[in-house]
């Protein structure tokens, strides 16, 4: 049987056409594909649901797309141990774990588990549950060249060996193919409520501080800031029915807002249409990211916001937003942009520790065959 088939016109990554597509169904097949790919010196990009395939820089070279569409399904759900082992191509949104949940918000329709790990995406509830790196407890990967390696395991508490799961989280497919992930789970809460308040941008800092000052243990603190006009703050609390009622009442008082069980339409969705940035800042400096004349949305409770960068003004806006984030002590990364914008801006901005990162890449992928050029510093 052929390990890969000829690519079609649809098989492009960031505008770069591939020559072949492989869709292995398990780790062993994936290893066989990657052994053969290395022998033929093929440049590889991994594709999950394709929902973030336009993120990062286009690959410098591309021969083979390894598609995870057949690499799906739950390998093990140990409910009593609150863990799940799932194959990388499994759609995140479709995971049915009964009264338990993998507390990662699907932020893009069609996103897979593997793509969520590789791009390290997180949604509103990262405040309450942590991000991919906090929930991932074990990982199986196929290295460029086809060697299968595993790190971590199936227990939550485990410090044996290096935590390669963290290294692969957010690595944009540059270190190898993720085939299976083990996660810790959380019970699905019995009840939830949101308290929503709209206020001028200048008041948001005080409102965020007011939320922090209360004992409400929010699962999410989100803001939606249009390019002009007032900002909407929405705080999510989860738990027992009585506890949620109590805390929502506390928040209504603290914010002068309204409690509801309806999520606002913008909840957990990126605000951009053409070009999008991710801006980070320490909590107290989140208000400094507002009022730059662009639409922003995201997790004000953890200091991670997403910006809609107008394509026509992109280079100037990217510079302005990035400068604001860096002044605040954070970073500004362009996640996606049309080709002409990519040519004009530095997608990643300054990256501390870049030399070490290059050495990590050289060790894991000495031939620079995995997603070459997609990641920081041209990695």
Partner 1 sequence: MTVLDRLADVLRSGLGPGRVISDRQELRTYECDGLAHYKVTPGLVVLPRDAAECARTVRACVEANVPFVARGSGTGLSGGALPHADGVLIVTSKMRAIVEVAPDDERAVVEPGVINLHVTHAATPAGYYYAPDPSSQQICSIGGNVAENSGGAHCLKYGFTANHVIGAQVVTPAGDLVELGGRAPDSPGYDLLGAFVGSEGTLGIATRVTVRLTRLPESVRTLLAAFETTDQAGAATSAIIAAGVVPAAVEMMDALAIEAAEAAVACGYPAGAGAVLIVELDGPLAEVEAQFAQVTALCEGNGAFELRIAADPAERALFWKGRKSAFAAVGRISPDYIVQDGVIPRTALPEVLHRIGEVSRAHGVRVANVFHAGDGNLHPLVLFDDAVPGQAERAEEVSGAIIDLCIEYGGSITGEHGVGMDKAKYMPRMFTDDDLETMQLLRCAFDPAGLANPGKIFPTPRLCGEVPRRHKADEPRPAELF
CA 144 to each of CA 34, 43, 367: distance values in angstroms, whole numbers, following the listed order: 6, 10, 8
CA 322 to each of CA 168, 314, 327, 344, 347: distance values in angstroms, whole numbers, following the listed order: 25, 12, 8, 15, 10
Query: In the bound complex, what is the minimum distance in angstroms from residue 144's beta carbon to partner 1?
Result: 11
Identify residues 248-277 at the interface with partner 1 (CB under 8 A): none
Q: Angle CA(105)–CA(111)–CA(117) in degrees, nearest 5?
A: 70
Query: In the bound complex, what is the minimum distance in angstroms from residue 294's beta carbon to partner 1?
Result: 19
Query: In the bound complex, what is the minimum distance in angstroms from residue 37's beta carbon to partner 1?
Result: 8
Please report whether residue 153 would count as binding partner 1 according to CB under 8 A.
yes
Please report whether residue 130 would count as binding partner 1 according to CB under 8 A.
yes
Query: In the bound complex, what is the minimum distance in angstroms from residue 146's beta carbon to partner 1?
Result: 10
Please report whether residue 303 would count as binding partner 1 according to CB under 8 A.
yes
Contact 231, 204 (CB under 8 A): yes
Span of 89-97, 187-195, 251-259, 337-345 interacting with partner 1 by CB under 8 A: 187-195
Q: Which of 164, 178, 219, 277 binds partner 1 (CB under 8 A)?
A: 164
Please report whether residue 354 would count as binding partner 1 according to CB under 8 A.
yes
DSSP state letters, 254-278 = HHT-EEESSPPTTTT----SSEEEE
Q: Which of 93, 109, 147, 323 binds partner 1 (CB under 8 A)?
A: 147
Please report whether residue 323 would count as binding partner 1 according to CB under 8 A.
no
Query: In the bound complex, what is the minimum distance in angstroms from residue 265's beta carbon to partner 1?
Result: 25
Contact 124, 107 (CB under 8 A): no
Please report whether residue 27 would count as binding partner 1 according to CB under 8 A.
no
3-state secondary structure of 143: coil
Closest CA to 82 of 170, 160, 157, 161: 157
Query: In the bound complex, what is the minimum distance in angstroms from residue 324's beta carbon to partner 1?
Result: 12
Identify residues 77-116 at the interface with partner 1 (CB under 8 A): 78-83, 99
Please report whether residue 206 would count as binding partner 1 according to CB under 8 A.
no
CA 288 to each of CA 127, 283, 291, 305, 368: distance values in angstroms, whole numbers, following the listed order: 20, 10, 8, 11, 39
Please report whether residue 63 would count as binding partner 1 according to CB under 8 A.
yes
Q: What does the block give as tokens for 1?
A: 């049987």
The site map against partner 1 for 221-240 (x = CB under 8 A) is ------------------xx
């Amino acid at each position: 049987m052929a390990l890969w088939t000829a690519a079609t016109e649809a098989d492009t990554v960031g505008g770069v056409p591939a020559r072949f597509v492989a869709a292995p169904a398990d780790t062993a097949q994936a290893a066989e594909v990657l052994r053969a790919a290395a022998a033929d010196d093929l440049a590889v990009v991994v594709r999950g649901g394709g929902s973030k395939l336009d993120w990062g820089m286009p690959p410098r070279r591309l021969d083979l797309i390894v598609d995870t569409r057949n690499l799906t399904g739950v390998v093990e759900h140990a409910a009593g141990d609150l863990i799940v082992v799932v194959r990388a191509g499994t759609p995140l949104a479709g995971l049915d774990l009964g009264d338990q949940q993998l507390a990662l918000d699907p932020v893009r329709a069609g996103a897979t588990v593997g793509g969520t790990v590789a791009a390290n995406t997180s949604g509103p509830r990262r405040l309450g549950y942590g991000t991919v790196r906090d929930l991932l407890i074990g990982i199986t990967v196929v290295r460029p060249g086809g060697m299968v390696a595993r790190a971590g395991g199936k227990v939550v508490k485990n410090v044996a060996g290096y935590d390669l799961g963290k290294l692969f989280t957010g690595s944009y497919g540059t270190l190898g193919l993720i085939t299976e992930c083990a996660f810790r789970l959380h019970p699905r809460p019995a009840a939830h409520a949101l308290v929503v308040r709209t206020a001028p941008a200048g008041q948001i800092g005080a409102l965020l501080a007011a939320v922090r000052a209360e004992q409400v243990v929010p699962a999410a603190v989100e803001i939606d800031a249009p390019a002009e006009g007032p900002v909407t703050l929405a705080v999510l609390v989860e738990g027992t029915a009585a506890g949620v009622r109590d805390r929502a009442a506390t928040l209504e008082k603290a914010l002068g807002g309204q409690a509801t069980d309806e999520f606002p339409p913008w909840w957990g969705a990126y605000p951009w249409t053409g070009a999008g940035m991710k801006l980070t800042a320490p909590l107290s400096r989140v208000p400094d990211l507002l009022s730059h004349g662009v639409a922003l949305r995201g997790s004000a409770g953890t200091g991670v916001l997403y910006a809609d960068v107008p394509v026509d003004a992109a280079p100037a806006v990217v510079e302005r937003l990035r400068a604001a984030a860096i002044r605040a002590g954070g970073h500004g990364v362009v996640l996606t942009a049309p080709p002409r914008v990519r040519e004009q801006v530095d997608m990643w901005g300054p990256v501390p520790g870049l030399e070490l990162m290059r050495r990590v890449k050289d060790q894991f992928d000495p031939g620079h065959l995995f997603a070459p050029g997609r990641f920081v510093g041209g990695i």
